[in-house]
């Protein structure tokens, strides 16, 4: 009888699979998206992630179902109590995991040749996605970071664009700007990445920097073209600004007791991240005295920061379970918001909307005052502020250079910050991310290409060219060392000690590719090794 029921279920599945093939077309640009996998599959999702069917929790949420999800869930419910049921076999039968393209470069490429060769290998065109895939289709081609990062990421893209522009790929720069404008128009913001499970949060808002980058080559009409998107993104980050009481926060907005408006990282949801489900469950279990949902939201907010994870966000500077990101006003985020405000003012100037120019120039001025009031540490550097504890965070990190990068730093404070960078963060292989070694990837001994570029540009802006060159040449030597021995560029690097190796720590193994490292490396080659 049991075998008859199994045969009947199998026959039903074949029939339903045929219906799914007939009734469900690919998701197209502009069409309605399916829910995130955790919602789509419910208990099946929990079972798969908890059982670690795949070593990387991101694999399942990037997989493509081979039938309608409701059918798959129904079959799972019917079969899971069977003593002979194998979850691994079930998943292997009804899901297709994402492909892992093998990148095999030609022999004897120089570093520059290798990066230029990589751009096409990292470029994707996904104007449609398989039915019920988590991938969000985008209208134009884009460049992915590489490795497990099979989709486009928000803040990564700016640093990738630096290299694309250097390589003469202005078309891809424009394509990715158009994709982001499309996402802002469609979702109200730029998601963390173009996956449905990333829709509830954004990432460090570099869109205004991307617009400014394109304008360097294409002229100021770029500001006018993207002004509606810039304003809509600003509105997303400032939701609740007018209704939040002093000393309170709403979503990404914090209103200080003196009514200064600043921003924080935030996520709409308070559940485990789809792509890191089991890791988040374990972290919440280690957070004694805290509700799991509180911890989940903090972890999600940290993912929006791009620094996932780092001592920057930990209550004790060491332990992930003490994460309190929503209580922290980040110096990098508010610097980027300052740049967004001055970019909107510039765009409004291009359209001769002088009332808007005045409004956003005033907003930027107030933001700069807020940065210099709350995000200046009396020990001589720009840093984060804990608004709930009403005191600065005593954690020296590479984020201290962001006010210099955007021009919001006071000159004498920029010089003091430069001295702190040199004395506490500069290492043999470049700029270390923080002074704490927590085993998290955004801490010592790791250094990251985007933070090096921000530091170099910020320091040069305030006349610290020699220190900028030290940082740039040391990190470039680190990148060259890894490439010489392993013939690849990686996501992050060890910069302490000898400073020649790929970085580690965090939730997943070191990834190759790698979009933002490629972009920054090309800029550094042009600055400090122009003949190579």
Q: Is 28 annotated as belonging to a binding site?
A: no
- Between the alpha carbon of residue 99 and those of residues 59, 131, 150, 275, the distances in Å are 10, 16, 9, 17
DSSP 143-194: E--BTTB-S-BHHHHHHHHHHHHHTT-HHHHHHHHHHHHHHHHHHSS--SBS
- Between the alpha carbon of residue 315 and those of residues 126, 322, 326, 506, the distances in Å are 41, 5, 11, 18
* H/E segment holding residue 77: helix 69-79
Q: Is 156 annotated as belonging to a binding site?
A: yes
Q: CB of 200 within 8 A of CB of 188?
A: no
Q: Residues 385, 388, 391, 393: is their CA dihedral positive or negative?
A: negative
Q: Is 192 annotated as belonging to a binding site?
A: yes
Q: Is 82 annotated as belonging to a binding site?
A: no
Residues 6 or more apart whose CB falls under 8 angstroms from that of 219 comprise: none
Which of 183, 384, 491, 512 is the catalytic position? Answer: 491
Q: Quickly tell me which residue has 């060392």 as its tokens.
A: 481
Q: Is 285 annotated as belonging to a binding site?
A: no
Q: Is 393 annotated as belonging to a binding site?
A: no
Q: Is 306 annotated as belonging to a binding site?
A: yes
Euclidean distance between CA atoms 333 and 399, whole angstroms: 9
Torsion of CA 203, 435, 468, 522, to 10 degrees: -50
Q: CB of 438 within 8 A of CB of 314?
A: yes
Q: Quickly tell me which residue has 């990564």 as its tokens.
A: 156
- Strand segments, DSSP code E, in 70-150 are 95-96, 123-124, 128-129, 142-143
Contacts within 8 Å (CB) and 24+ apart, 249-257:
249/326, 249/387, 254/329, 254/387, 256/370, 256/374, 256/387
Query: Is residue 394 annotated as a catalytic residue, yes or no?
Result: no
Report H helices in 310-461. Answer: 331-350, 354-374, 402-406, 411-420, 449-461
Which of 298, 308, 332, 512 is the catalytic position? Answer: 308
Q: Is 507 annotated as belonging to a binding site?
A: yes
Euclidean distance between CA atoms 131 and 133, whole angstroms: 6
Question: Strand, helix or coil at 29?
Answer: coil
Euclidean distance between CA atoms 122 and 515, whole angstroms: 8
Residues 6 or more apart whose CB falls under 8 angstroms from that of 399 comprise: 307, 312, 330, 331, 332, 382, 383, 384, 451
Query: Is residue 183 annotated as a catalytic residue, yes or no?
Result: no
Of the candidates 518, 395, 509, 494, the one whose C-alpha atom is nearest the C-alpha of residue 112 is 518
Euclidean distance between CA atoms 95 and 110, whole angstroms: 40
Q: Quickly tell me which residue has 């039915």 as its tokens.
A: 131
Residues 6 or more apart whose CB falls under 8 angstroms from that of 434 comprise: 310, 311, 312, 395, 396, 397, 398, 442, 443, 444
Q: List, as residue ranges, the binding site for substrate.
A: 148, 155-156, 192, 201-203, 306, 507
Q: List, as residue ranges, the binding site.
A: 148, 155-156, 192, 201-203, 306, 507
- Residues annotated as catalytic (active site), given as ranges: 308, 491
């Amino acid at each position: 009888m049991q075998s008859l029921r199994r045969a009947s279920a199998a026959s039903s599945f074949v029939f339903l699979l045929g219906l799914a093939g007939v009734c469900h077309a690919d998701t197209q640009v502009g069409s309605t998206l399916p829910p995130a996998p955790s919602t789509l599959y419910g208990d099946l999702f929990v079972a798969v992630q908890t059982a670690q069917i795949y070593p990387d929790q991101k694999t399942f949420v990037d997989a493509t179902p081979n039938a309608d999800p409701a059918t798959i869930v129904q079959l799972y419910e019917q079969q899971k109590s069977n003593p002979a049921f194998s979850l691994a076999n079930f998943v292997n039968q009804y899901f297709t995991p994402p492909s892992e393209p093998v990148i095999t470069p030609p022999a004897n490429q120089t570093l520059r040749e290798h990066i230029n060769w990589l751009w096409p290998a990292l470029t994707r065109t996904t104007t449609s996605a398989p039915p019920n895939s988590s991938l969000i289709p985008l209208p134009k081609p884009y460049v992915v970071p590489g490795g497990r990062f099979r989709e486009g990421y928000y803040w990564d893209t700016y640093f990738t664009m630096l290299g694309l522009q250097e390589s003469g790929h202005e078309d891809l720069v424009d394509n990715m700007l158009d994709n982001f404008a499309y996402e802002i128009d469609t979702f109200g913001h730029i998601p963390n990445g173009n996956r449905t499970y990333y829709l509830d949060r954004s990432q460090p808002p570099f869109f205004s920097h991307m617009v400014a980058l394109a304008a360097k080559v294409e002229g100021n009409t770029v500001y006018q073209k993207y002004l509606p998107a810039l304003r809509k993104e600003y509105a997303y980050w400032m939701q609740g600004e007018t209704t939040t009481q002093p000393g309170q926060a709403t979503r990404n907005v914090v209103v200080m007791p003196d009514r200064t408006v600043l921003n924080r990282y935030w996520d709409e949801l308070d559940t485990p991240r789809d792509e890191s489900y089991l890791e988040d469950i374990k972290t919440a279990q280690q957070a004694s005295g805290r509700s799991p949902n509180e911890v989940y939201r903090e972890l999600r907010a940290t993912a929006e920061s791009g620094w996932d994870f780092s001592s920057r966000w930990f209550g004790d500077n060491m332990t992930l379970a003490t994460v309190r990101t929503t209580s922290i006003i980040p110096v990098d985020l508010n610097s980027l918001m300052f740049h967004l405000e001055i970019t909107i003012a510039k765009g409004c100037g291009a359209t001769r909307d002088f009332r808007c120019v005045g409004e956003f120039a005033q907003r930027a001025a107030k933001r700069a005052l807020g940065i210099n009031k709350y995000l200046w540490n009396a020990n001589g550097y720009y840093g984060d502020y804990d608004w709930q504890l009403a005191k600065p965070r005593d954690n020296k990190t590479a984020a201290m250079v962001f006010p210099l990068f955007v021009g919001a730093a006071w000159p004498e404070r920029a010089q003091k910050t430069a001295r702190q960078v040199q004395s506490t963060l500069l290492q043999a292989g470049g700029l270390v991310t923080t002074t704490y070694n927590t085993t998290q990837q955004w801490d010592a001994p790791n250094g990251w290409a985007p933070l090096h570029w921000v530091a170099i540009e910020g320091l040069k802006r305030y006349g610290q060219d020699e220190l900028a060159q030290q940082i740039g040449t040391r990190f470039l030597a680190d990148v060259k060392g890894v490439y010489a021995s392993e013939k690849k560029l990686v996501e992050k690097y060890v910069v302490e000690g000898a400073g020649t190796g790929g970085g580690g720590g965090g939730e997943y193994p070191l990834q190759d590719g790698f979009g933002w490292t490629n972009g920054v490396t090309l800029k550094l080659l042009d600055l400090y090794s122009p003949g190579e």
